[in-house]
Amino acid sequence: MDRVNAIRLFVRLVECGSFSAVGREEGIGQPAVSKQIGALERHLGAQLVLRTSRQVVITDAGQTFYESARQLVDDFDALESSVGERQQSPRGVVRVNTAPAHGRLCITPLLPAFFRQYPDVAIELSVSERHVDLVGDGVDLAVRHGRLVDSSLTARKLSETDFVLAASPAYLAAHGIPTRLADLDQHTCIVFANGRERYPWSLKVGKERVSYVPHGSLLTGDAEHIRAAVLCGLGIAQAPYWLMAKEIQSGEIDVVLPDLQPERVPIHLVYPAGRRVPMRVRVFIDYLVAAFAREEP
């Protein structure tokens, strides 16, 4: 038994949740994956997973082993990279987490050129509006919007974005164009919300920052639904510029009350501090930073 490879397969089994998914990823059959995990269990003298007809359940012993095994695999990959990175091209999987809309609109379009440059690197892109635990969830890299507060992470600035108030020309033609903050009370707003909790809009009046609670018939926690609602003429929304950049540039969406725009919001790439960054992750970070710098208006 190749113990390092068996441990690597077990780590991916925990993260993927099924033998078949690991087999597809590694290009081997499901029975081969199960056989190697079984050999690892016999070597350790402990059951790591419970196999049922519908799912794989990680035992307490398996969860404890995973936490150390994930670090071991990362360290082994880093060691291989440090020794061979001048002789070999980067290879392996980079696990990236980002918000759904930002991933679709801003990250995925950059991947074809990256894969042409680094054909042996695979990107496992997970999306979530919440901040994931990078170490606990086995994520190499995450895209974070706004001010950073987690000092346990290393950060590289990717870009920064304006937040704009936006509406469709059809909506503004029917309801008028607001010219001051108080005018928003007479308009329908598209509300970004978590359940029934409405997120206030951050606006700037003169030198003062004000918080405006929007009101409207549509509440959603999904950025792409905000964009679709604006295009449908359902009202005025506050959103990051990148979400509607193409539509604003084409005239499908208008920016209103630009003088109320708050300061720009930074966007960072973050990854766990205190460990060597594998070459496959490092080249992807450098690629994204350079690509966003080229796209910056």
Is residue 253 within 8 Å of 166, Cβ to Cβ?
Answer: yes
The reported pLDDT for the residue numbered 154 is 87
What domains lie within the chain, and their CATH numbers?
Answer: 1-88 (1.10.10.10), 89-157+265-297 (3.40.190.10), 163-260 (3.40.190.290)
User: Which pLDDT belongs to residue 81?
Assistant: 60
CB of 110 closer than 8 Å to CB of 139: no
What average pLDDT does range 116-137 have in this prediction?
85
pLDDT of residue 128: 83
Checking if the pLDDT of 250 tops 90, the result is: yes
State pLDDT tens for residues 263-284.
889 999 998 876 678 888 999 9
Average pLDDT over residues 103-129: 92
Q: Is residue 84 predicted with pLDDT exceeding 60?
A: no
Average pLDDT over residues 139-167: 87
- Structure confidence at residue 167 (pLDDT): 96
Rounded Cα distance, 41 and 206, in Å = 66
Q: Tens digits of per-residue pLDDT, 235-248?
A: 999 999 999 999 99
Which pLDDT band holds residue 12 (cuts at 50, 70, 90)?
confident
Q: How far is CA 159 from CA 156, 245, 262, in A?
A: 9, 14, 16
Give the pLDDT confidence score for residue 88 in this predicted structure: 66
The confidence score (pLDDT) of residue 151 equals 67
Q: What is the mean pLDDT of the chain?
A: 87
Q: Give the torsion through C-alpha atoms of 231, 237, 238, 243, to 10 deg.
A: -20
Provide mean pLDDT across the span 190-196: 85
Of the two residues 73 and 259, the one the predictor is more confident about is 259
Residue closest to 220 by CA, chosen among 204, 232, 203? 232
Backbone φ, ψ for residue 160 (5° rounding) = -145, 155
Residue range 33-49: average pLDDT?
Answer: 88
